[in-house]
Amino acid sequence: MRVAFVGKGGSGKSTIAGTVARVHARSRTRVLALDVDTVPGLAFSVGLGRITDAGMPEELGERRQGQGWVLREEIGADTLVARYALDAPDGIRFLQLGKLPRHVRPGSTTAFRHVVESFRPPGWSIIGDLAAGTRQSFAGWAGFASLLCLVMEPTQTALLSARRLRRLTETMPEAIVGLVLSKVRNGASVEEMGAALGLPVWAVVPYDAEVAAAERAGVAPIDAAPESAGVMAITGLVSTLSALDQGKTTT
């Protein structure tokens, strides 16, 4: 399956995406975790901890007259993944756009985009953590996804951002879109949020003190608190996504 996670910063998007990748990989599926968010998060939630940079070398791309930035040499996306992705727990391969907020590396970005657009080997799943916000997520980065998870907390403030993201999902008519409610506490209006966005609720992930502690420590929640309510809810989300993907591929 190919799943993209979108949402505003602080929604729990990276934690959920990383845990989904870990759970799914344990089903003996090969998983490529793509980190498009320039704010560190996915590396911690998949269990890699702090890494300096897992972006690809700048020299892979070059600027050509009349073409803009292109790959310097013809190279397959599978080769790029084999050479430059990092090994993560449970057999996951991890690749990130780069964590360089002060400047852009267009050559590295060109190679990363090639992976996003072209990496489709049989037997692989792709789990993508897209940039936080209401515009960057769809700037050519979500096209790989057949399933799109809109992650939000169940608050009226979060609903405003989610509505903007919901409109942007309409640019991806082939993707199935669903809502993942995060950090849910007792009394939250779960049904109201789904109805307001016109989306099915695929998962309700409760606020979990054990998961929050793991995040503060920079440890993957699935390693620190595998039996916690939060991790168990995300495990249920993986089952839902797998069923949706199975239904999509058989129709």
What residue numbers bound the domain in which 190 lies? Answer: 2-249
For residues 248 and 87, which has the higher predicted lDDT (pLDDT)? 87
Q: What is the pLDDT of residue 249?
A: 61
**Bridge partner list, 204:** 181
Least confident of 17-26, 53-62, 167-176: 53-62
Task: Name the domain count of the chain.
Answer: 1
Q: Are the C-beta atoms of 81 and 93 separated by less than 8 Å?
A: yes
Is 110's pLDDT higher than 60? yes
Q: For the domain that residue 51 is a member of, what is the CATH number?
A: 3.40.50.300
Q: What is the pLDDT of residues 122-170, one digit of tens each?
A: 999 999 999 877 666 666 788 899 999 999 999 989 999 899 999 888 8
What's the average model confidence in pLDDT over 75-95?
A: 94
Is 194's pLDDT higher than 70? yes
For residues 183 and 55, which has the higher predicted lDDT (pLDDT)? 183
Residues 6+ apart with CB under 8 A from 111: 56, 57, 60, 61, 71, 80, 84
Q: Give the model's confidence band at 189: pLDDT under 50 very low, under 70 low, under 90 confident, else very high.
A: confident
